[in-house]
A = this chain, B = another copy of it.
Amino acid sequence: MDADAEISRQSGRGHDDFLERVVAVLRAEGFTGKPSSDEPVVNFEHPEQLRARLRLGLGAAVEEDDELLELVRDVVRASVRTGSRHFYNQLYGGADPFGVAGAWITEALNTSQYTFEVAPAFTLVEHEVIRHCLNKVGFPDGDGIFTPGGSAANMYGMVAARYRAFPSVKTDGMRALPPLAVFTSEDSHYSVLKGAHWLGLGTSSVVKVATDAAGRMLPAALRDAVLQARRDGRHPLLVNATAGTTVLGAVDPLDQVADVCRDLGVWLHVDACWGGSLLLSPKHAARLAGLARADSVAWNPHKMLGAPLQCSLFLVRHAGLLHRCNAAAAEYLFQQDKFYDVSWDTGDKSVQCGRKVDAFKLWLMWKARGDAGLAALVDNAMECARYFRQLLLASDAFRLVSAEAQDCTNVCFWYIPKRLRGLTEDKGWWDQLATVAPAVKERMAQRGTLLVGYCPLPHKGHVNFFRMVTTCQPPPRPADMDRAAAEIQRLGELC
C-alpha cells in the first residue's frame, strides 16, 4: 500500500462508531451500569495461563474493529470487577459513574493542565476544586495541586518542608544541609520511605514512631523522638501524621501531634490520602480535628470517595510556596509576554511538565451530588463498616484485631475455623491461624465470590488477618456485609 492510502486508511478508523461499540461492550459486560450481585468479582486464571489465552502480542499484526472488540471483551472479562458488590480488597472500589463521565470527557479532550492557554476551562475547574478543598481542610489562603497519586503528594510535602526550612536546597542539594529526620508512625504508608530514598534523605532519616493498639501515633513518643533526633544532631524536618492508616485505618491524634509540631517547630504534613474523605461528612469530620493546623495535606479522592484513579491532591497552608519551591521558569512554556493573565498558568508549581487533567472528574461528581450527597455516601460507607464490625463482634467465628472503635472503614479481623476454636492459643495455634487468610483468599479468587485483602502486621505481632474495606462506590448495603461475613465463614470451612 502506498503512503497516502495507508494514511487515509489510518485516518478513517476508530472514531465515533468504534467508541460507541466500545461503550456498548462495557455496558453489556456490566462495567458501567448499576452493580449486579450476580457476576463474579473475578474470573481468576493464573498469570501464565491467562497470558497464553489472551492474544497479547504486539508487532506486525493488525486487528480490524470486530477483532479488536473481541480482544477488548476478553480483557474486560479477565479483569477484576472493582465495582462489584463483592470487592472490598483495596482502599478504592468502584468508580463513581459521574467521575467516569468526567474522565471520559478529559480523555477525549486530551490536553495538559499546565497552561490556561491549552486548558482554559480545566484550569478554572482545577482552581475551583482546590479552593473548595482548601476551605474544607481549613487552609482558606493556601494553595494546592493535583498530583499523580498519594506517594507523589507525600513527596510534595517533604519537598515543600525542606525548601521552606532550607531554600538553598534547590540549588545546592542535600549535601549542604545538616542531617535531617522525618517522623512517621510505624503504621504509616511506605511512601514515606520511598520518598525519603528518592528525595535524597535516605530511609535511615525516617524515624518510626510507636502507635497504640489501634495503630494511632503516640504523641508522647513523637515528642521524645523529635527531641532525641535533635540531641543526635539531626534537624527535625517534618512530621508525617496519618489520617487513615493503610491497614488498620487509624487516624493519628492530629491535635496532639500538632501541639508537638508547634512546640518543637516542625512542619506537620498529614497523609490523609485515605481518611481525608471523612472531611466531607459533617458526622465524621470531627475525627480529623486538628487537620487545619497542619502545614500540608495529601488527600486521594480516588480512594474512599470513588473518583476514578488517579485523583490526588496536595494542599499546603503557605501561599506562594509551591511556586517558589518548584518553579523552573521555562521560557518555552511559561512565557511572561503572553496576552492573558499568566498567573493562571499553574504548571510551574508542579514537578511535572505535562500534567493529566484529574480535577474535572471530581468537579463533576461534586456538581452532581453536592456537599450533602458526597457526605451521605461517606456516611454510608462508614455505617456499613460499623455494621460489619458488629456482625463480627457477635460471632465466635471472628476476632477483631483491635477492640478500639474504628476511625475509617477498615475492619481488620481473623476468621477462626471451627477446628481452631476453643483451643489454647499458643504459638502453634497462631501459626495455624496465619495460614487461614491466604487459603481463604485463594478460594475467594478461584470462586470469584468475594475479594477481601489480608496481611500480617509484624510490628504488632499479628499474623495474617483480613482487612475488609468499604468505600463510597458502589454504595454498600448491610445485606452485602451479611453476605461477605457468611462467605468468609463458608470458604473458611472448606477443605
Residue among B83, B151, B203 making CB contact with A352, cutoff 8 Å = B151
Please measure, in the bound complex, the distance between the C-alpha atom of A441 and the C-alpha atom of B332, giving whole angstroms. 14
Tell yes or no: A495 within 8 A of B by CB.
Answer: no
- Listed by A's residue number, 13 A-B pairs whose Cβ atoms lie within 8 Å are A7-B475, A9-B373, A22-B104, A46-B341, A58-B128, A80-B118, A83-B110, A92-B112, A149-B355, A173-B204, A191-B353, A194-B328, A337-B464
Query: By the criterion CB–CB under 8 Å, are A119 and B80 in contact?
Result: yes
Q: Which residue of B lies closest to A95 (CB)?
A: B110
Interface residues of A in 248-302 (CB under 8 A from B): 300, 302
Query: By the criterion CB–CB under 8 Å, are A98 and B58 in contact?
Result: no
Please measure, in the bound complex, the distance between the C-alpha atom of A128 and the C-alpha atom of B52, giving whole angstroms. 12
Partner-contacting stretch, out of A31-39, A314-322, A385-393, A401-409: A31-39
Please measure, in the bound complex, the distance between the C-alpha atom of A367 and the C-alpha atom of B308, giving whole angstroms. 25
Query: By the criterion CB–CB under 8 Å, are A149 and B331 in contact?
Result: no
Query: By the criterion CB–CB under 8 Å, are B72 and A105 in contact?
Result: yes
Q: Which residue of B lies closest to A179 (CB)?
A: B175
Partner-contacting stretch, out of A10-18, A224-232, A421-429, A486-494: A10-18
Residue among B341, B380, B457 making CB contact with A47, cutoff 8 Å = B341
Interface centre among A7, A13, A31, A380 (most CB of B within 10 A): A7
Query: By the criterion CB–CB under 8 Å, are A57 and B111 in contact?
Result: no
Interface 1/0 per residue, A324-353 and B, CB below 8 Å: 001010111101011111001000000111
Tell yes or no: A455 within 8 A of B by CB.
Answer: yes
Q: Which residue of B lies closest to A136 (CB)?
A: B58
Interface size on A, residues (CB 8 A): 175
Tell yes or no: A155 within 8 A of B by CB.
Answer: yes
The minimal Cβ–Cβ distance linking A410 to chain B, given in whole angstroms, is: 11
Tell yes or no: A438 within 8 A of B by CB.
Answer: yes
Tell yes or no: A418 within 8 A of B by CB.
Answer: no
Query: By the criterion CB–CB under 8 Å, are B200 and A475 in contact?
Result: no
Interface 1/0 per residue, A359-373 and B, CB below 8 Å: 010011011111111
Residue among B34, B76, B353 making CB contact with A15, cutoff 8 Å = B34
- 10 interchain residue pairs of minimum CB distance: A200-B200, A173-B202, A148-B148, A14-B97, A174-B200, A95-B110, A62-B370, A174-B174, A339-B442, A332-B455
Query: Assuming A34-B11, A109-B79, A331-B455, is B23 touching A20 (CB within 8 A)?
Result: yes
Residues of the B chain whose Cβ atoms lie less than 8 Å from the Cβ of A89 = 117-118
Residue among B201, B203, B330 making CB contact with A200, cutoff 8 Å = B201
Query: By the criterion CB–CB under 8 Å, are A110 and B92 in contact?
Result: yes
Residue among B339, B363, B438 making CB contact with A438, cutoff 8 Å = B339
Interface centre among A14, A103, A356 (most CB of B within 10 A): A14
Query: By the criterion CB–CB under 8 Å, are B332 and A22 in contact?
Result: no
Please measure, in the bound complex, the distance between the C-alpha atom of A19 and the C-alpha atom of B150, giving whole angstroms. 28
Please measure, in the bound complex, the distance between the C-alpha atom of A326 and the C-alpha atom of B196, giving whole angstroms. 11
Tell yes or no: A420 within 8 A of B by CB.
Answer: no
Query: By the criterion CB–CB under 8 Å, are B169 and A202 in contact?
Result: yes
Tell yes or no: A305 within 8 A of B by CB.
Answer: no
